[in-house]
């Protein structure tokens, strides 16, 4: 017995074919987007510094993240704790949910744009971490603060005044790991192949 070729049956078959096609396209889109990672840190293009220290930003980030007993530097981890902080991790989780929603709506271009937004959110979170009291970084030593003030102020009188303000409790005189702000400005994101 042959199935009847009614309009209703043809529409039903077309809908089934379309659904299979859409599901296949959705799967391909999800697989393509799944290959892309959001990487936050200091890529090679932003490692150079504007000083004669002989260090680049990526090396400084690693030294500060792990610490250096040889140089008397305590560990001050940056990227992971900033992104894992409860307030910040929720923000990233919300961003990732929006990416998933765009993919489920079969909109890979929107998902890609949302990945860019997530990368920028992650950069903002990491750069804000320098000033965030939740970072729990050990404070700079007096010697470090004096050295930072020498870098940024030529006047001995001004340096002395600023150091006295710092010792009196002024919070706007020093930010740990920030003197020229080059390290913070070097943090960025890239979208790239996870492989």
In this predicted model, what pLDDT tens digit does every residue of 130-151 receive, in sequence order?
999 899 999 888 888 888 888 8
Place of tokens 């992650």: 122
For 48, the token pair is 């150079």
Measured distance CA(137)–CA(47) in Å, rounded: 23
User: Residues 149-176: pLDDT tens digits?
Assistant: 888 888 888 888 888 887 887 777 778 8
Interatomic CA distance for residues 152 and 10, integer angstroms: 77
Task: Select the highest-mean-pLDDT range: 10-24, 79-93, 97-111.
Answer: 79-93
Looking at residue 39, the DSSP 8-state letter turns out to be E
CA atoms within 13 A on the CB side of 108: 13
Q: How far apart are CA 51 and CA 151, in angstroms?
A: 10
Whole-angstrom distance, CA of residue 145 vs CA of residue 139? 10
The per-residue pLDDT for 1 is 41
**8 A C-beta contact, residue 76 and residue 138:** yes
pTM, 2 dp: 0.77
DSSP SS3 for 191:
strand
- pLDDT score at 92: 93
pLDDT digits (tens, 9 = 90+) for 34-60: 888 899 999 877 777 777 667 788 998
DSSP 170: -
Integer Cα distance of 57 and 49 in angstroms: 6
Confidence of residue 5 (pLDDT cuts 50, 70, 90): very low
Band the pLDDT of 90: cuts 50, 70, 90: very high
Q: Note the helical H segments in the chain.
A: 7-34, 57-66, 79-84, 86-104, 108-129, 142-152, 156-167, 182-186
Lookup result for tokens 């489920």: 104
**pLDDT score at 3:** 46
- pLDDT at residue 16, rounded to an integer: 61
């Amino acid at each position: 017995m042959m199935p009847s070729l009614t309009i209703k049956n043809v529409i039903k078959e077309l809908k089934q074919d379309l659904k299979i096609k859409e599901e296949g396209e959705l799967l391909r889109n999800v697989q393509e987007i799944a290959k892309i990672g959001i990487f936050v840190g200091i890529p090679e293009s932003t490692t150079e510094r504007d000083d004669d220290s002989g260090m680049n930003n990526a090396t400084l980030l690693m030294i500060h993240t792990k610490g250096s007993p040889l140089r008397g530097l305590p560990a001050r981890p940056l990227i992971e704790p900033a992104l894992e902080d409860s307030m910040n991790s929720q923000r990233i989780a919300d961003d990732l949910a929006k990416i998933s929603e765009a993919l489920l709506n079969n909109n890979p271009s929107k998902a890609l744009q949302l990945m860019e937004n997530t990368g920028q959110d992650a950069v903002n979170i990491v750069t804000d971490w320098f000033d965030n009291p939740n970072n729990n970084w050990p404070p700079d030593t007096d010697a470090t603060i004096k050295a930072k003030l020498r870098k940024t102020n030529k006047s001995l009188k001004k340096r002395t005044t600023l150091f006295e303000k710092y010792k009196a409790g002024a919070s706007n005189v020093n930010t740990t790991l920030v003197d020229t702000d080059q390290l913070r400005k070097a943090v960025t994101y890239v979208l790239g192949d996870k492989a």
